Amino acid sequence: MPDCFKSIPMKKLTILVLTVFLLTVFSFEKSYGQSSINIIPQPKHLSVGHGNFDLNEHTRIWIVHPDKLKFESQYLADFIKKHTGIKPEIISGTKNEHLKNVIILQLTRKVSGNPESYSLKVTKKQISVIAPASKGIFYGIQSLLQLLPASFYASAHEKKWRIPECSIQDAPRFSYRGMHLDVSRHFFPPSDIKRYIDMLAMYKFNTFHWHLTDDQGWRIEIKKYPKLTEIGAWRDSTLIGRYGRKPVRYDKKRYGGFYTQDEIRDIVHYAAQRQITIIPEIEMPGHSEAAMASYPVFACTPGPFHVATTWGGFKDIYCPKDTTFRFLEEVLTEVMGLFPSKYIHIGGDEVIKYRWENSPFCQQLIKKYHLKNEEGLQSWFIHHIDKFLSAHGRDMIGWDEILEGGLSPNATVMSWRGIKGGIEAARQGHDVIMTPGGYCYFDHYQANRKFQPLAIGGFTTLKKVYSYEPVPKVLDSVEARHILGAQGNVWTEYIPTFKKVQYMTLPRMAALAEVDWTPAKEKNWPDFQRRIHEHFQVYKALGYNYCTGSYAVDIMIQKSAKSDYKIVLSSEIYHPDIRYTTDGSRPTAHSEKYRHPFIVRAGAKIEAAVFVNGKLMEEPATKVAK
Ligand code: TNX
């Protein structure tokens, strides 16, 4: 026995040794366990056990009442069947604690809980998903499916899978967790929309904001106004390359498409089963060129107008005449008939006021109603629509421009031009959905543009999305309650295919899912990096296109001693092979490999870059220690 222990009595020593042993085992379990679980978004409470539940040909799904959780149990059974060939039997009856090899889906009697909350328990004998409502059960199933390894998703038709023992208590931080898709600039058929909804469901988003109309195409069938899709859904040509680049070139190909009302009903139902509400957006008074081309009588000038073939803003917008309002109300009536969503989005963004400024009719309206100017007229327009929607039991959402000239009483604001609009609206007591360009625009570049497919601009990396905090610091606790959550926007000017939609949204939507779901203090970037790396394997197995992220190296310089500096290198990439130099020379695949922080003298010039299989992935980063 070492001398230092000789003075300790035997009993105390035994306790000490035992404690050290247990602590070692416990911490090993914890880190081992955590690193085998890759759920995104990170659950609120998660603890990991030792063993596994074996999913095999004898596994059954157990629901207590045969008439409840029908969809959820079938969804789970179908998912397992699709990827393994195993067809779990669905049985029902009173829950039995002793039953082995079952996955129990159970609604609690406690109806007061958050309907989106759930608990998931995996033991060797049973898996149970318990929740106050089907929403929670569905999210519990999503977490359960993420406990399976990526190889499960590759549909290898293996018949035995291990699910790690664990216990999860979970509920979302925000009630609004959204993803948007613009189907006007480019059209995606119903089958793609359903794949998109599948992606949202995987990450527990509960809202799909469907941008259905814009200058470049009207995409929703309206029975009373058939020209909206006969004319408005088709453009003669599409701009090639970036907007503003000279010489301007067009592809001269007719392009378009729209969703029939039957298709829309089917998609709304598909989404609802997956606990996703679809918010339709019908743009007004701007972004309406396709509607003007279909029905020029609702414009301020006689036309004719054309469905836009290029991007950017257009000056022909709805003229606020009685007949225009009748038209919009009739359109919205059909829209409300198709979408049960409490919210209806009416756009309201980027209204070019030129026609209103030059229209005697509009100027007279401004005088008649003592409006300040065209902004006042915009506000008056939006108020009218707000009143109409409210009278029909719906709530209006608009982009933050609807703040101009006074906000409508029932409006919810989508803050996209930074966070100012959101702050202002919350202070006025309005609900807000945060979607600031710098964090939530997934049409932006996500890595160095030199190495990326064409995008609109910007630079919104995965790490930046992950770092987003939706509640602005300046709000007090009462105002902060108006922040319902955050949404990712996917404008499709430069996204012509669904494969590219996936590339632009994966993995950024996973980062946003964690922003929306996980308590801020539970967010952990290095752990997210590990988990998203595992999700990449799932994407591969599912055939999803995705971006591996930014390969840029971040050089952090900290003063350590008098003329010494500590250098810390990092990258968005999980376990990157970073090579560096300290003499200003360009790093190669054979330069010093970065393993841990190192010390340099003042004046050292650090250059560092990530290599994959010896290939330089992005321009080296450079910084001088000073
Ligand atoms: C602004 S965000 C728009 C869209 C464009 C987008 C491109 C918003 C409310 N309006 O019409 O597609 O920028 O990023």
DSSP 333-354: HHHHHH---SEEEEE--S---H
For ligand 1, is residue 442 a contact (CB within 6 Å)? no
pLDDT at residue number 451: 87
pLDDT at residue number 4: 39
Considering only 150-159, 262-271, 284-293, 320-329, which range has the smallest mean pLDDT?
150-159
For ligand 1, is residue 374 a contact (CB within 6 Å)? no
Task: Determine the average pLDDT of the residues in 379-391.
Answer: 95
Atom of ligand 1 nearest to the CA of 399: 9
pLDDT at residue number 8: 46
Atom of ligand 1 nearest to the CA of 417: 2
pLDDT digit string, tens, across residues 178-221: 999 999 999 999 999 999 999 999 999 999 999 999 999 999 99
Atom of ligand 1 nearest to the CA of 444: 14
pLDDT at residue number 225: 98
Q: Kindly indicate the confidence band of residue 9, based on its pLDDT and cuts at 50, 70 and 90.
A: low
The size of the chain, in residues, is 626
- The residue whose CB lies within 8 Å of the most ligand 1 atoms, and thus the one to mutate among 491, 494, 495, 504, is 491
Question: Residue 34 pLDDT more than 90?
Answer: no
Considering only 229-238, 329-338, 406-415, 549-558, which range has the smallest mean pLDDT?
406-415
For ligand 1, is residue 350 a contact (CB within 6 Å)? yes
82, 145 contact by CB (below 8 A): no
- For residue 532, the 8-state DSSP code is H
pLDDT at residue number 5: 41
Atom 14 of ligand 1: nearest residue by CA position: 491
- The residue whose CB lies within 8 Å of the most ligand 1 atoms, and thus the one to mutate among 239, 350, 445, is 350
Atom 4 of ligand 1: nearest residue by CA position: 491
Q: Long-range pairs for 260-266 at CB < 8 Å and ≥24 separation? A: 260/221, 261/221, 261/223, 261/334, 261/338, 263/190, 264/220, 264/221, 264/338, 264/339, 265/338, 266/190
Give the burial string for 10-38 (b: 16+ CB within 10 Å, else e): eeeeeeeeeeeeeeeeeeeeeeebbeebb
Q: Is 214 a catalytic residue?
A: yes
Q: How far is the CA of 417 from the centre of ligand 1 (A)?
A: 10
Atom 7 of ligand 1: nearest residue by CA position: 491
Q: Is 209 a catalytic residue?
A: no
pLDDT digit string, tens, across residues 456-496: 999 999 999 999 999 999 999 999 999 999 999 999 999 99
Question: Residue 431 pLDDT more than 50?
Answer: yes
Question: Residue 7 pLDDT more than 80?
Answer: no
Superfamily of domain 40-170: Chitobiase/beta-hexosaminidase domain 2-like (3.30.379.10)
pLDDT digit string, tens, across residues 104-162: 999 997 767 899 999 999 999 999 999 999 999 999 999 999 999 999 998 877 889 99
Atom of ligand 1 nearest to the CA of 492: 12
Question: Residue 446 pLDDT more than 90?
Answer: yes
Atom of ligand 1 nearest to the CA of 350: 10
First to last CA, the chain: 52
Atom of ligand 1 nearest to the CA of 185: 12
For ligand 1, is residue 399 a contact (CB within 6 Å)? yes
The residues near 70 (Cβ < 8 Å, ≥ 6 apart) are: 63
Q: Is 275 left (phi over 0), alpha (psi -120 to 50) or beta?
A: left
Mean pLDDT of the chain, nearest integer: 93
Q: Kindly indicate the confidence band of residue 410, based on its pLDDT and cuts at 50, 70 and 90.
A: confident
Atom 9 of ligand 1: nearest residue by CA position: 349
The CA-atom distances, in angstroms, between 16 and each of 6, 20, 27, 321, 428 are: 13, 6, 16, 84, 60
For ligand 1, is residue 443 a contact (CB within 6 Å)? yes
Question: Residue 352 pLDDT more than 80?
Answer: yes
Helical (H) or strand (E) element with 374: helix 374-391
Active-site residue, selected from the candidate residues 158, 263, 330, 350 = 350
Atom of ligand 1 nearest to the CA of 182: 12
For ligand 1, is residue 491 a contact (CB within 6 Å)? yes
Percent of the chain whose pLDDT exceeds 90:
88
Considering only 3-17, 108-122, 393-407, 486-500, which range has the smallest mean pLDDT?
3-17
Atom 6 of ligand 1: nearest residue by CA position: 491
Q: Is 287 a catalytic residue?
A: yes
Atom 12 of ligand 1: nearest residue by CA position: 491
Q: How far is the CA of 260 from the centre of ligand 1 (A)?
A: 25
Q: Kindly indicate the confidence band of residue 29, based on its pLDDT and cuts at 50, 70 and 90.
A: very low
What 3-state DSSP class applies to 298? helix
CATH code given to domain 176-542? 3.20.20.80
Atom of ligand 1 nearest to the CA of 458: 14
d(CA 359, CA 526): 57
pLDDT at residue number 31: 35
pLDDT at residue number 10: 53
pLDDT at residue number 2: 40
Question: Residue 13 pLDDT more than 90?
Answer: no
For ligand 1, is residue 416 a contact (CB within 6 Å)? yes
pLDDT digit string, tens, across residues 73-85: 999 999 999 999 9
Atom 10 of ligand 1: nearest residue by CA position: 349
Task: Determine the average pLDDT of the residues in 100-104.
Answer: 96
Q: Kindly indicate the confidence band of residue 30, based on its pLDDT and cuts at 50, 70 and 90.
A: very low
Question: Residue 590 pLDDT more than 60?
Answer: yes
For ligand 1, is residue 456 a contact (CB within 6 Å)? yes
The residues near 246 (Cβ < 8 Å, ≥ 6 apart) are: none
374, 353 contact by CB (below 8 A): yes
| Total-model pTM | 0.93
Active-site residue, selected from the candidate residues 116, 165, 182, 214 = 214
- The residue whose CB lies within 8 Å of the most ligand 1 atoms, and thus the one to mutate among 349, 417, 440, is 349
For ligand 1, is residue 176 a contact (CB within 6 Å)? no
CATH code given to domain 553-624? 2.60.40
Q: How far is the CA of 269 from the centre of ligand 1 (A)?
A: 28
Active-site residue, selected from the candidate residues 83, 180, 287, 482 = 287
pLDDT at residue number 238: 98
